[in-house]
Chain A
């Protein structure tokens, strides 16, 4: 019998509040069928000790982390609200450790516990790159109920899910082929704040695929064009434009205020930079990349692997061509970008199975989707057991300096690619 279990999404650590309120979830012993639960020691950090009579360690029972936390809350009412706020998932400024291992790399709040284990609840210290106060949405207006009605009527969304979407902030790296469909669908979904990082201007060669931009936008900064398109679709979205190249100097400042980051970068230097910055800031990263007729998509959750686990270092310049050099099918951007948008919406709603731990491969020519397993590499220089990359580095140098093409370089590359194709046909 398991009717007393909290429903926990393993990928996101989300605890379903409906289950939590269920009359069956009367206490952590409700479903044990009489067997004794493991008792563990819970370390209480200083700021939370006012709830525990200044005790540094308390003993609590439970089969997993969620049950133990519920049990602590039962003994010391208010503890859970202090740790979790009004939300239902472990906030990102809180780390929970089981015997010194962060539960993000275990099974989240579903991590099983044994007698004598130690659970520690550690909040981030003040003074770091703090998140802005969370956007709070009250009751939906009549117009919003209408606008989002096709979301709201789905049981997986509902009014509370729609409010979560509207309270969320997402940063999109690149307002290009991938960034375009991502931005459009997130705007339509009603994401509260969308950040757009792009310092390029709209070129006519972008219009074969970049649906954020139209003929009249040629010559306009892409970030501005993106903001106009997003707000034309949905004026409620707060769009923040970052018209700068993302660099090691500004990455933390740009990324920190957002809940989620979606990567639509067009070069390896930016991909490694964004990956590393998201790791240090503990931001979920929804990654996608495209070339010709092929795409790759995955999700990196904090503590559960990163881009460097998958690809420890970039190819030497020139070996893997860019879209500018080799080309890309316009509609492919839509397929991959909308998958990225879907994944971030699932994370926000806490529903379904995230692509975390899986690399989705799309081959448009074969019209075939495949998946391979990916995982946190204990030897990863960034997120492994003995990391050697402990701060942002010089990514241009790391990637061989052949990135951030100027238009001149792009043109040369396209000429070279054209010559190569012609040669191949002879």
Chain B
């Protein structure tokens, strides 16, 4: 099933687009599918099978850490957002 995935500018370097579509029954499967379409995708957000701790993934508006993490089920029409921490306050 196709799920919409929104990425921020940092990941757009890999996907080339702000919104991409992927296939999979869970968030983890979706990320694997996107990694095959956009090599390097997972490396930006995961290490050793775990999400980086400065990256959050939201299913619609809920953090998957509070759902079933990478096993969180996704369905057609869901939106996944991948959000890394930003540091900028632009003092420099």
Binding site for B on A (CB under 8 A): 173-179, 198, 200, 206, 209-210, 222, 263-268, 271, 288-296, 310-315, 319-324, 326, 328, 333, 359, 361, 363, 365-366, 370-375, 377, 405, 410
Shortest beta-carbon contacts, A-B, top 4: A177-B90, A176-B91, A264-B89, A289-B86
Chain A residues with CB under 8 Å of B89's CB are: 173-174, 176-179, 263-266, 288-290
Is B63 an interface position by the 8 A CB rule? Answer: yes
A180 to B84, CA, bound (A): 25
Contacting A at CB under 8 A, from B45-80, are: 52-56, 58, 61-63, 65-66
Asked whether, in the complex, the Cβ of A312 is within 8 Å of the Cβ of B66, the reply is no
**Contact across chains for B90 and A320 when beta carbons are under 8 A apart:** no
With A296-B86, A314-B54 as given contacts, are A200 and B63 in contact (CB-CB < 8 Å)? no
Which residues of B in the span 1-51 have a Cβ within 8 Å of any Cβ on A?
A: 8-10, 18, 44
Task: Give the number of A-B contacts (CB < 8 Å).
Answer: 127
Neighbouring A residues of B90 by C-beta, 8 Å: 176-178, 209-210, 264, 266, 290, 323, 328, 333
Name A365's contact: one of B18, B61, B87, B92 (CB within 8 Å): B18
| Residue of A266, A359, A377 touching B91 (CB-CB under 8 A) | A266
| Residue numbers in B under 8 Å from A314 (CB-CB) | 54, 85, 87
B residues less than 8 Å from A312 (CB atoms): 53-54
- The complex places the Cα of A156 from the Cα of B7 at a distance, in Å, of 38
Are A322 and B62 within 8 A (Cβ)? no
Q: Whole-angstrom distance between the alpha carbons of A206 and B84 in the complex?
A: 25
Contact status A321-B56, CB under 8 Å? no
Question: What are 20 of the A-B contact pairs (CB < 8 Å)?
Answer: A178-B89, A178-B90, A266-B87, A288-B89, A289-B85, A290-B86, A294-B8, A311-B54, A313-B54, A315-B55, A315-B85, A319-B84, A322-B88, A326-B9, A361-B81, A363-B18, A371-B61, A372-B62, A377-B65, A410-B92
Look across to chain B and name the residue whose beta carbon is closest to the beta carbon of A407.
Answer: B92
- Which B residues are CB-close (under 8 A) to A328? 88, 90
Cα A410 to Cα B55 with chains together (Å): 25
Q: Of all chain A residues, which has the CB nearest B47?
A: A316
Closest B residue, CB atoms, query A209 = B90
With A321-B10, A373-B61, A373-B62 already in contact, the answer to whether A174 and B84 are too (CB < 8 A) is: no
Closest to A263 in B: B89
Minimum CB–CB distance for A361 against chain B, Å: 7
A328–B88 CA distance with the chains assembled, in angstroms: 9
Measured CA separation A239–B54 after assembly (Å): 35
Q: Would you give the shortest CB distance from A196 to chain B, in whole angstroms?
A: 11
Q: Which residues of A contact B63 (CB under 8 A)?
A: 372-375
* B92 and A320 within 8 A (CB): no
Give the distance to chain B from A339, nearest Cβ to Cβ, in Å.
13
Query: For residue A206, which residues in chain B have a CB less than 8 angstroms away from its CB?
Result: 92
Which residue from B8, B58, B91 sits with its C-beta under 8 Å from A175?
Answer: B91
Residues of chain A contacted by B9 (CB below 8 angstroms): 291-294, 326
User: Are A177 and B83 neighbours in the complex by a CB distance under 8 Å?
Assistant: no
